[in-house]
Structure 1
Amino acid sequence: MPLKREMVGMDNTMQRKYNALHATYWMGTLCALGFVAVLLQHKGLTNTEIGVVTGGSSLTTIVLSPVVSGVCAKVKRFSLQQQLIGFFAVESLLFSAIVFLPLPKALLMGLYIAMYALNISTVPLVSTIAMNYIADGKPVNFGLSRGIGSISYALCAIVAGQLVGWFSPAALGFLFLGANILCVVVLWRMPATYSKTEAKADCAASVSLFGLAGRYRLFFGLLLGFGLAFAASACVGTYLINIVTSLGGDASMLGVATFFMAASELPVMAVAPRLMHRFGAKSLLAAAALFYIARNGLVCVAPSLPVLFVGLAFQGLSYGLFTPIMTYYVAENLAKEHQIMGQTMIGVMTSGFGSAIGNTAGGMLQDAYGMETMLRFVLALTLAGALMVVSLRQAGKKQNVPQLAKESN
Structure 2
Amino acid sequence: MLKKYIKNIESNKYLKIIAEFSLLQFFFWSTWAIYGSYLVLYLGEIGYSNMRIGTLMSLRTFTGLIGPPVIGFICDKIESRKIVFIISMTLMGLIVAPFTFYGDWMLFIAIGVMGFLWEPQQSVLDSWIIETSEKTALNYGFMRAWGSIGFALVVTLFGLVIEFFGWTVHFSSYGLLAFIVVVISLMIEDNSYAKSDDSIAEPGKQKTNLKNLLKLLKDPEYLFVLFVTLLIFIPAMMIMVYLAPIVQAVGGDSRDLGYILFFNALSEAPIFFMAKHFLQKYKTKALLLFAATFYLLRTIIVALAVSPAQLIFYGLLQSLSFGVFLVTIRYYVKIIAPVGLKTTAQSITLMSAFGVGGIIASLLGGFLIDTYGMNSMFAVSIAFSLLAVIVILFSIIRKT
Query: Aligned pair 1:212/2:219, yes or no?
Result: no
Matches within 5 A, 1:53-64: 53-64=56-67
CA contact (8 A) 1:25 1:183 kept: yes
The answer as to whether partners of 2:24 and 2:184 remain within 8 angstroms in 1 is: yes
Q: 1:221 to 1:115 in 2, by over 3 A?
A: same
Which residue of the partner structure matches residue 403 of structure 1?
A: none
One-letter identity of the residue aligned with 1:14? I
Q: What TM-score do the two structures reach when normalised by structure 1?
A: 0.90
Question: Which sits farther off after the overlay, 199-208 or 313-322?
Answer: 199-208
Partners of 2:364 and 2:11 lie apart in 1 by: 50
| Contact kept? 2:229, 2:349, Cα under 8 Å | no
Is 1:369 the counterpart of 2:372 in the alignment? yes
Contact 2:93/2:179 (8 A) holds in 1: no
The 1:196/1:211 distance shift into structure 2, 3 A limit, reads: farther
Tell me the distance in 1 between the aligned counterparts of 2:66 and 2:382: 28
Residue type of the alignment partner of 1:214:
K
Q: Which string of whole-angstrom CA distances, capped at 9 and with x for unpartnered residues, describes residues 8-29 of structure 1?
A: 2221111010101111111111
Aligned AA for 2:139?
N
Identify the range of structure 1 (202-211 vs 41-50) with the bigger mean alpha-carbon deviation: 202-211
**Range moving further from structure 2, 1-10 or 323-332:** 1-10
Letter in 2 for 1:88: M
Q: Partners in 1 of 2:161 and 2:368 — Cα distance?
A: 30
User: Which structure 1 segments of 5+ residues have no match?
Assistant: 398-409
C-alpha contact 2:29 2:147 (8 A) present in aligned 1: yes
Work out the number of aligned pairs and report it.
391
Q: Secondary structure at the match of 1:318?
A: helix
Q: Check the 8 A contact 1:228/1:381 in 2, yes or no.
A: yes
Q: 2:280 aligns with which of 254, 267, 277?
A: 277
Conservation of the 8 A alpha-carbon contact between 1:21 and 1:183? yes
Residues 62, 115 of structure 2: 8 Å contact kept: no
What displacement does 1:213 show?
2.7
CA offset digits 1:140-161 (Å, max 9, x no partner): 6111111211111111110111
AA at the equivalent of 1:81:
K
Letter in 2 for 1:101: F
Which residue pairs with 1:141 in the alignment?
A: 139
Q: Give a deviation string over 1:261-302, Cα, whole Å, max 9, x none.
A: 111111111111210111121111111111111111111111
The residue aligned with 1:407 is none
Number of the residue aligned with 2:157: 159
Secondary structure in 2 matching 1:164: helix
- In structure 2, the partner of 1:88 is 89
Distance 2:5 2:295 in 1: 47
1:133 positional shift: 1.4
Which residue identity does 2:170 align to in structure 1? Answer: L
1:392 maps to which of 383, 387, 395: 395
Alpha-carbon distance in structure 2 between the residues aligned to 1:323 and 1:223: 13
Q: Which amino acid aligns with 1:338?
A: L
2:15 maps to a residue whose letter is N
Residue deviations 1:309-349 (CA, integer Å, cap 9, x gap): 11221111011001011111122232212311210121111
Q: Secondary structure at the match of 1:317?
A: helix
Q: Is the 8 A contact 1:11 1:139 kept in 2?
A: no
Corresponding letter in the other structure for 2:384: L
Question: Which residue matches 1:30?
Answer: 33
Aligned mates of 2:170, 2:89 — CA distance in 1: 16
1:242 alignment counterpart:
245
Q: How far does the alpha carbon of each residue in 1:83-138 deviate from its partner, in whole angstroms, 9 at most, with x for none?
A: 211111111222134x13241x2331232122133111122210111122115x66
Q: Give the letter aligned to residue 368 of structure 2.
A: L
Letter in 2 for 1:150: S
Once the two structures are TM-superposed, the CA of residue 304 in structure 1 deviates from its matched residue by 2.2
Tell me how far 1:194 sits from its aligned partner.
Answer: 5.5
Percent same amino acid at aligned positions?
22
Seen in structure 2, the aligned counterparts of structure 1 residues 247 and 126 have a Cα distance that, compared at 3 Å, is same
Q: What RMSD over aligned residues (CA atoms) do the two structures have, in Å?
A: 2.1
Give me the whole-angstrom Cα distance separating, in 1, the residues matched to 2:156 and 2:252.
14
Matched, 1:43 2:46: yes
| Separation in structure 1 between the aligned mates of residue 332 and residue 323 of structure 2, nearest angstrom | 15
Question: 1:101: which partner in 2?
Answer: 101
Give matches, 1:256-405, under 5 Å: 256-397=259-400
Structure 1 window deviating more from structure 2 (376-385 vs 310-319): it is: 376-385
- Aligned CA distance change for structure 1 residues 278 and 194 (closer, same or farther; 3 Å): closer
Aligned to 2:229: 226
8 Å CA contact 1:299–1:312 kept in 2: the answer is no
Residue type at the aligned position of 1:124: S
Change over 3 Å in CA distance of 1:355–1:196 after alignment to 2: farther
Q: Which runs of 5+ in 2 are unaligned?
A: none
One-letter amino acid matched to 1:106 = W
**Do 1:23 and 1:152's aligned partners in 2 also have CA atoms closer than 8 Å?**
yes
SS of the residue 1:74 aligns to: helix
8 A Cα contact 1:269 1:320, kept in partner: yes
Aligned residue type for 2:113: A
Secondary structure of 2:167's aligned partner:
coil
Code of the aligned partner of 1:149: G
Aligned partners of 2:140, 2:238: CA distance in 1, in Å? Answer: 27
